[in-house]
Structure 1
């Protein structure tokens, strides 16, 4: 059961808005296992990660299922997401 890396890491929000990067199937599997809840999307993400770890499906398929779970739970950092700063959009840095 080797950890399979994703072509592109998944970034999710955890805690009070802290980003966390998931680089491998194992990372995603552990995250989904530890997530509080029992939604169909979470169960699907766990099953997909298990299947990828045993070689039944590829890592990118598992990644896609995990992304659906993260998006449904509103914790997925989309590509356009950037960490919020206390400086407003018109702040001038000297």
Structure 2
């Protein structure tokens, strides 16, 4: 399941408003665990990604939970978006 691609990649904003494409559950999991925060949406995304990596749920279910997390933090690049709506929500890249 690690290398199984999503049906559609997820695009998110990182760092200084640079886009990043997440193609697999493993990509999404790495992103969400590296994120600086502890919100209920982040915890749900971590649980969903872990479950998908274990084969307990499918990749598209985990994708949906991750997208909800990314959208709640203004990280999700919606189809056709050129720039982020706000500057909030930066990952912790120490």
TM-score by length of structure 2 reads 0.84
Paired position in structure 1 for 2:8: 8
Structure ID, larger Rg: 1
Q: Distance in 2 between matches of 1:3 and 1:49?
A: 13
- 1:5 is displaced (CA, Å) by 1.3
How big is the shift at 1:83? Answer: 4.9
Structure 1 equivalent of residue 49 of structure 2: 49
CA-to-aligned-CA distance 1:16-70 (integer Å, 9 cap, x gap): 1100000000000000000000000000000000000111100000000000000
- Following superposition, the deviation at residue 4 of structure 1 comes to 2.5
Any stretches of 5+ residues in structure 1 without a counterpart? 85-94
Task: Report the TM-score, using the length of structure 1 for normalisation.
Answer: 0.84
In angstroms, what is the RMSD of aligned CA positions?
1.4
CA distance in 2, matches of 1:69, 1:58: 17
State how 1:28-67 maps to structure 2 within 5 Å. 28-67=28-67
Q: How many residues of Structure 1 are paired with residues of Structure 2 in the alignment?
A: 84
SS across alignment from 1:68: helix
- Higher RCO (Cα < 8 Å, 6 or more apart): 2
**Structure 1 residue runs of 4+, over 3 Å off?**
none
Q: Following TM superposition, by how much is the alpha carbon of 1:2 offset from its aligned partner in structure 2, in angstroms?
A: 3.2
